[in-house]
Amino acid sequence: MLQAIRNRASSIFVKILFGILVISFAIWGIGDIFRNRGVDTTVASVGDRKIDVQTLNRAVQEDAERWRQALPGTALDNEQLKQLGIVDAALQRLIDGELTELEIQRLGLAVSDDALDSMVRANKAFQNAQGQFDPALYRQFIEAQHMTPQQFRATLRDDIVRQQLEQALVAGVSAPDELVDTLYRSRTEKRTAEALVLPPAAAADPGTPDDGEIKAFYDKHQDDFRVPELRSFRLGVLLLDDVAAEIKVPDDKLRQEYQNRLADFASPEQRHFQQILLPDEAKAKEAAVQLASGKDFAQVAKDVAGADPDTLDLGFFKKADLPPALGDPAFALKAGEVTPPIHDALGWHILRLVEIKPATTEPFDTVKVKLAREIARDQAGDRMAKLYDQVQDALAGGAAFAEVSQRFGLKVTTFDDVDANGRSRDGKPVELPVSGSDILKTAFSTDAGQMSQLNDLGENGYYVLQVDKVTPAAVKPLDQVKAEVTGLWQQEKRDAELATLAKEIADQVKAGRKLSDLAAERKLAAFTTEPMSRAGGDPKVPPTLVAGIFGAKPGAAVFAKGNDGYVVAVVKDVITADPAKDAKGVAQFADQLVVPSLRDDMMQEFDRALRNRYPVSIDRTAVAHAF
């Protein structure tokens, strides 16, 4: 075929045809390449740096993913990303990063390799139980971040420089002493009060309302007697575990699966090491010479590296858990032997082999039940997928709920008169299967007499429901709630009388009477509260009254409704803390409550200064086109 094309390519007809094709490509195809050459995808510029649409898109998607993790099931389109401010927030974060990077370059800030290594070794996240740097933990962390060691070190270096710059900016920032002292005294102030409780029995019996009063109260408080919309529905559930429980896996299949997955049940050889970590080659060679002469490993670590014997133990390692530079030499040792000094980015290592745990494999009988459960669930998953399609087909064909449930073995539960919060008519919670909130949403979005679509329960299975009855929200008829209306009317009357009594007592205190005398006249007992802060501290004093106590002067009376009647209180003692006697507490207070806001102000001023030094421009049209 190729030779035939070559033979015909020399003809004048073919040359003309190729000419037409070339012109066509130049106009319609290749021309686009030339016309699009040099298209600028910049959405913002910072000084001489540019932020392109790809970088912005990555930042936006990262933020959107955090939203999705925080709110599972949330799908955000581009318009929503803009409306929620995610696009603008990501762009400003990128701009701030470029501004800081430009300033770091201007100031010539950097972190040396030695300083970086020291910070890595000092990081507790990379230390074992003995507090010693563990290369395996370090490597596992890097792999979990989907980075190479070089990428991690570069990122860490940038972060450290940025932190050092921010720390230099806010170092020494503090609130004025007068402000700290004033706020400290206010926050730590405590008060006691003399108080009395006016119980409901202190009010006269309000009597029984007549029909007119009951009707008027009922009409005014109808929301108190309203019943929410209720729904009755049948729920059919198909669960993965139920399908798996019916599957019996033959023994020969289990044995075959065991052989196929033998590596999953095998534990490779593990070795227990001690380590001396040295800062330079000279120290490493000195330690190696002393060890070769037969000197004790722990003694050499102490003499040469200044290491505590308790920090030498690394524990057990698999070969794959050690860095490549250490793995081969370490696993070539015999018990008691040591490696020669081995160098990597973290220093010079000398390892000593303490103990060897041989490789082991779990026997078949130990993992048989686990294998059977896993295989059954896998097979159940396949069956569920087929059942899903079959149920969907049946629903699409108009099959009734009872027919679908019976044909496909759905477990059916009936729920009568359930509200949208999952409570029955009498207010008790209803037990729903997993994803109860999703089931309720489906029930309350499906019309009466209708069947829902087939919905999933995550990885657990599927459900479908039939709404049999909808009872609209309504106010209970007066004849059904007459006793309840009467009780609430009486309670309101008692509360009103207690409020009047409390005000009378407070007014009498203001006129010079003692609260204890007023209490005795009413055969009540006054009491002194526990010292309270602004957050409270005495269970007999309602929160609404605490606020009044701290807003009143000593000797003044205040009152408020409590859980059981009204409480009247007279401010007795004001206990103020002396900042001079609590230097540590004042310092902590200043740092935790005041300084952060000042630091934020400082960083905002720094950001404005950077934007003046390095002009920032945003192409809003390009951003709009990108999202």
Helices 251-260 and 364-396 cross at an angle (nearest 10°) of 110
What is the predicted pLDDT for the residue at 218? Answer: 93
pLDDT at residue 506 is higher than 90: yes
d(CA 142, CA 136): 10
Q: Is it the case that residue 23 has pLDDT exceeding 90?
A: no
Q: How confident is the model at residue 568 (pLDDT cuts 50, 70, 90)?
A: very high
User: Which one has a higher pLDDT value, 311 or 588?
Assistant: 311
Check pLDDT > 70 for residue 610. Answer: yes
| pLDDT number for residue 73 | 56
What is the model's pLDDT at position 592?
65
pLDDT of 231: 96
Answer whether residue 394 shows pLDDT above 60.
yes
Crossing angle of helices 478-510 and 211-220, rounded to 10°? 90
| Residue 604 pLDDT level (bands cut at 50, 70, 90) | confident
Q: What is the rounded distance in angstroms from the CA atom of residue 124 to the CA atom of residue 429?
A: 46
**Average pLDDT of the segment spanning 477-487:** 93
Q: What does the mean pLDDT of the chain come to?
A: 84
Fold of 229-247+367-472: Chitinase A; domain 3 (3.10.50)
Q: What is the pLDDT of residues 440-466, one digit of tens each?
A: 999 999 999 999 999 988 778 899 999
* Biggest distance spanned by C-alpha atoms of the chain: 127
Written as one letter, the residue type at 183 is L
d(CA 591, CA 597) in angstroms, rounded, equals 10
Beta bridge partners of 231: 418, 470
Residue range 163-217, pLDDT digits in tens: 777 777 766 666 677 777 877 888 888 999 999 999 999 999 999 999 999 999 9
Q: Which residues contact 199 (CB under 8 A, 6 or more apart)?
A: 564, 565
Burial 134-170 (b: 16+ CB within 10 A, else e): bbbebbeebeeeeeeeeebbeebbeebbbeeeeeeeb
Question: What's the confidence (pLDDT) of residue 508?
Answer: 96
- Tell me: pLDDT of 2 over 60: no
- 239-274 residues labelled b (16+ CB within 10 A) or e (exposed): bbeebbeeeebeeeebeebbeeeeeebeeeebbbbb
For the residues 490-518, what does the mean pLDDT come to? 94
Confidence of residue 322 (pLDDT cuts 50, 70, 90): confident
Give the DSSP letter string of 311-324.
G-EEEEEEGGGS-H
Q: How many Cα atoms sit within 13 Å of 118 on the Cβ side?
A: 8
Query: Taking residues 366-388, what's their average pLDDT?
Result: 86
Q: Tell me, letter by letter, the H, E, C secondary structure of 203-240.
A: CCCCCCCCHHHHHHHHHHCHHHHEECCEEEEEEEEEEH
Question: In this predicted structure, which of 76-85, 357-366, 375-384, 515-524 has the lowest mean pLDDT?
Answer: 76-85
Q: pLDDT at residue 28 above 60?
A: no
Strands 190-198 and 527-528 come out as: antiparallel
- Return the pLDDT at 200: 92
Q: Does the pLDDT value for residue 140 go beyond 90?
A: no
Nearest by Cα to 601 from 253, 202, 169, 299:
169
pLDDT band at 10 (very low <50, low <70, confident <90, very high): very low
Q: How far apart are the first and last CA of the chain?
A: 49
Q: pLDDT: is 442 or 306 the higher one?
A: 442
Return the structure tokens found at 583.
């230097």
Output the DSSP codes for 408-477. Answer: HT-EEEEEEEE-TTSBBTTSPBP---SSHHHHHHHHTTS-TT-BPPPEE-TTSEEEEEEEEEEE--EEPP
The answer, yes or no, to whether residue 136 has pLDDT greater than 80, is no
Query: One-letter amino acid identity for 261?
Result: R
Residue 460 and residue 483: Cα distance in Å, rounded? 47
Residue 470: strand pairing partners: 231
Least confident residue range of 16-20, 367-371, 537-541, 551-555 = 16-20
**Range scoring the smallest mean pLDDT among 12-26, 81-95, 243-257:** 12-26
Residue 359, number of CB atoms within 10 A of its CB: 11
State the pLDDT at residue 33.
40
**Across-strand partners of 45?**
50, 617
Dihedral (Cα; 352, 354, 358, 360), 10-degree rounding: -110
- Which amino acid type is present at position 80? Q
Q: What percent of the chain has pLDDT over 90?
A: 42
| CA geometry: angle 319, 320, 322, nearest 5 deg | 70
562: three-class secondary structure by DSSP: strand
Q: What angle do CA 535, 540, 545 make, to 5 degrees?
A: 55
- Burial zone of 277 (CB within 10 Å; 0-12 exposed, 13-18 middle, 19+ buried): buried
Answer yes or no: are the C-beta atoms of 135 and 342 closer than 8 Å.
no
19-44 average pLDDT score? 52
Its pTM stands at 0.47
Tally Cβ neighbours within 10 Å of residue 197. 20
Query: What angle is formed at CA 328 by the lines to CA 323 and CA 333, rounded to 5 degrees?
Result: 120
Percentage, residues of the chain above pLDDT 70: 90
CATH class of segment(s) 262-361: alpha beta
Q: Two tokens at 82?
A: 């803009």
